[in-house]
Amino acid sequence: MKATVLAGEAAPPRWRTARREIALDRSCVVGILNVTPDSFSDGGRYPTVEAAVSAARRMAGDGAAVIDVGGESTRPGAARPGEAEEIRRVVPVVRAVAALGLAVSVDTRRAAVAAAALEAGAEIVNDVSALAGDPRMAEVVRAAGAGLVLMHMRGEPQTMDALARYGDVAAEVAAELAARRDLALAAGVPREAVVLDPGLGFAKLPEHNLALLGALDAVAALGHPVMVGPSRKRFLGAVTGRPVDQRDAATAAACVAARLRGARLFRVHDVAGVREALAVADAILAAAPRAA
Ligand code: HH2
Q: List the domain boundaries for the chain.
A: 25-287
Q: Atom 10 of ligand 1 has which residue's CA nearest to it?
A: 229
Give the pLDDT of residue 231.
98
Which parts of the chain have pLDDT scores under 50?
1-9
Looking at residue 9, its pLDDT comes to: 47
- 3-state DSSP call for residue 65? strand
CA of 229 to the centre of ligand 1 (A): 7
CATH topology of domain 25-287: TIM Barrel (3.20.20)
pLDDT of residue 160: 87
Q: What is the pLDDT of residue 6?
A: 46
Neighbouring residues of 109: CB distance < 8 A, sequence distance ≥ 6: 72, 127, 128, 129, 133, 134, 137
Distances (CA, A) of 251 to 4, 66, 216, 228: 23, 18, 16, 11
Q: Please list, in sequence order, all residues whose beta carbon lies within 8 angstroms of the beta carbon of residue 182, skipping any fewer than 6 positions away.
A: none
* Dihedral in degrees, nearest 10, Cα atoms 79, 85, 86, 88: -150
Q: CA dihedral defined by 159, 88, 269, 219, rounded to 10 degrees? A: 50
Q: What is the DSSP letter of 186?
A: H
How far apart (Å, rounded) are the C-alpha atoms in residues 61 and 250?
22
Ligand 1, pocket residues at CB < 6 Å = 32, 34, 36, 39-41, 70, 73-75, 107, 126, 128, 149, 151, 197, 199-200, 227, 229, 231, 267
DSSP one-letter code for 155: S
* Distance separating alpha carbons of residues 103 and 19, to the nearest angstrom: 8
Q: Give residue 253's pLDDT.
A: 98
The reported pLDDT for the residue numbered 290 is: 63
Q: How far is the CA of 133 from the centre of ligand 1 (A)?
A: 15
